[in-house]
C-alpha cells in the first residue's frame, strides 16, 4: 500500500528515494511555516544589515587593513558570520518541535526519521540563501567591490552555504541534546562569539596576542573567511585556506551528522 518500502534481512526498510521524498515534504513544511511569520523574516534580515552598517561605519575607521579597504575586508567576514548565525535557528526550531509533540507525531509515522533533520537543515539552508543575498546587496550599497570573476564569486557563495549547512547540524545536535528552547538559545550562541571574533572575520589576525592568534589561524572560520576573501577581492591567495576549509567542513559533517542523528533517536 505504501511506496518506498523494501524488505531486507526480514525487516521492512525505506528506500533512499523515500528518504528524499520525506525530507522534501518536511523542508516544504518548514519553509511554509517561516513564510507565514513575516515579522520574523524581516528581523532576520535586519540583524545582519545592522551588523554591516555598525562595522562599516563605526569600527571601520579604527581598523587598519593595509592596502585593502575595510569594507572589502569586512564583507567576506560578516557574510560568513551571518551564515553561522542563520544556521543557529536549526537547533532552536527542533527543540520547539520536540516540545510541541510534533516530533513524536512524525516519529510515529511510517516515514524516514532522518528526514526530520534532513528536511529542517535543508529549509534553513534555503532561508540562508535569501539572508545572504540581502546582505551582499547591502554590502554593495555601502561600497563592497568584488574584483574577481563570476565563477570565483559563485564558488565563494557555495562555500559559505556549505559552511552554514555544517553549522545547522552542529546546532541541531546542541538543540536535541539540551532539548529546552531557552537553553538552546543561549547554548547555541555562546560558543559562536569567540569562534567568529577570534578569527580573521573582522580584524587581521596579525594584531592578536600569541595564543589567541594561534587559535585564530587554525579556526575554521578564519580559513573559510580567507578563502572567501581570496575568491572575491583577490587576496590572500585562496588555494591554501580553501583546502583546509573544505577539510574542516568534511570533518565537522562526519562528526556532527551522526551524533545529531543519535541525539534525535534518543530525544
Partner 1 sequence: MYTYTESPPCPVEAEGLTVTYGKITALDGLSLRIEAGTVVGLLGPNGAGKTTLVKVLSTLLRPTRGTARIMGHDVVRDPLPVRLAIGLAGQYAAVDQELTGRENLEMVGRLYRLPRAEARRRAAEVLERLSLTDAADRRVAGYSGGMRRRLDLAASLTGRPPVLLLDEPTTGLDPRSRQELWAIVDELRDAGTTVLLTTQYLEEADRLAQRIVVVDAGTVIAEGTPSALKAGIGTDILRVRLPGPAGLPAAAELLTDLAATGTEVVTDRVTGELTVRVSRPDASVEALRRLDRQGVDVTAVQLTQPSLDDVFLSLTGRTAVLEEAR
# binding residues, partner 1 (CB under 8 A): 32
Using CB under 8 A as the binding rule, whether residue 108 contacts partner 1 is answered as yes
Q: Is 101 in the site for partner 1 (CB under 8 A)?
A: yes
Residues sharing a CB contact under 8 Å with residue 129, sequence separation 6 or more, in sequence order: 161
Which of 57, 110, 140, 250 is in the footprint of partner 1 by CB under 8 A?
A: 110
* Cell reading at 169: 547540524
1 binds partner 1 (CB under 8 A): yes
Return the residue of 53, 107, 133, 206 that touches partner 1, per CB under 8 A. Answer: 107
Q: What angle do CA 98, 101, 106 make, to 5 degrees?
A: 90
* CB-count burial class (<10 Å; 0-12, 13-18, 19+) for 229: buried
CB of 120: closest distance to partner 1 in angstroms?
Answer: 13
User: CB of 258: closest distance to partner 1 in angstroms?
Assistant: 19
3-state SS assignment for residue 235: coil
Task: Work out how close the CB of 207 gets to partner 1 at its nearest, in angstroms, rounded to a whole number.
Answer: 46
Does 14 engage in binding with partner 1 (CB under 8 A)? yes
* Range 37-56, binding partner 1 (CB under 8 A): 37
Smallest gap, in angstroms, from Cβ of residue 261 to partner 1? 16
Cα 248 from Cα 220, distance rounded (Å): 6
Which residues does residue 7 pair with via DSSP β-bridges, in sequence order? Answer: 12
Amino acid at each position: 500500500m505504501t511506496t518506498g518500502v523494501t524488505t531486507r534481512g526480514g525487516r521492512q526498510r525505506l528506500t533512499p528515494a523515500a528518504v528524499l521524498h520525506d525530507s522534501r515534504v518536511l523542508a516544504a513544511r518548514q519553509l511554509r511555516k517561516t513564510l507565514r511569520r513575516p515579522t520574523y523574516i524581516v528581523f532576520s534580515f535586519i540583524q545582519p544589515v545592522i551588523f554591516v552598517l555598525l562595522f562599516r561605519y563605526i569600527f571601520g575607521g579604527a581598523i587598519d587593513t593595509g592596502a585593502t579597504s575595510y569594507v572589502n575586508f569586512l564583507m567576506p567576514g560578516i557574510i560568513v558570520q551571518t551564515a553561522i548565525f542563520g544556521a543557529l535557528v536549526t537547533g532552536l526550531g527542533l527543540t520547539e518541535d520536540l516540545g510541541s509533540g510534533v516530533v513524536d507525531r512524525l516519529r510515529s509515522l511510517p516515514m524516514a526519521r532522518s528526514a526530520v533533520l534532513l528536511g529542517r537543515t535543508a529549509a534553513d539552508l534555503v532561508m540562508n540563501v535569501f539572508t545572504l543575498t540581502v546582505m551582499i546587496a547591502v554590502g554593495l550599497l555601502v561600497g563592497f567591490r568584488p574584483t574577481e570573476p563570476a565563477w570565483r564569486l559563485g564558488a565563494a557563495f557555495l562555500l559559505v552555504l556549505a559552511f552554514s549547512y555544517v553549522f545547522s547540524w552542529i546546532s541541531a545536535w546542541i538543540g536535541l541534546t539540551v532539548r529546552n528552547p531557552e537553553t538552546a538559545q543561549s547554548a547555541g550562541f555562546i560558543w559562536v562569539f569567540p569562534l567568529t571574533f577570534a578569527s580573521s572575520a573582522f580584524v587581521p589576525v596579525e594584531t592578536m596576542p600569541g595564543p589567541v592568534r594561534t587559535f585564530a589561524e587554525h579556526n575554521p572560520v578564519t580559513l573559510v573567511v580567507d578563502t572567501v576573501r581570496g575568491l572575491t577581492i583577490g587576496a590572500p591567495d585562496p588555494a591554501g585556506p580553501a583546502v583546509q576549509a573544505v577539510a574542516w567542513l568534511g570533518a565537522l559533517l562526519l562528526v556532527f551528522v551522526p551524533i545529531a542523528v543519535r541525539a534525535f533517536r534518543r530525544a
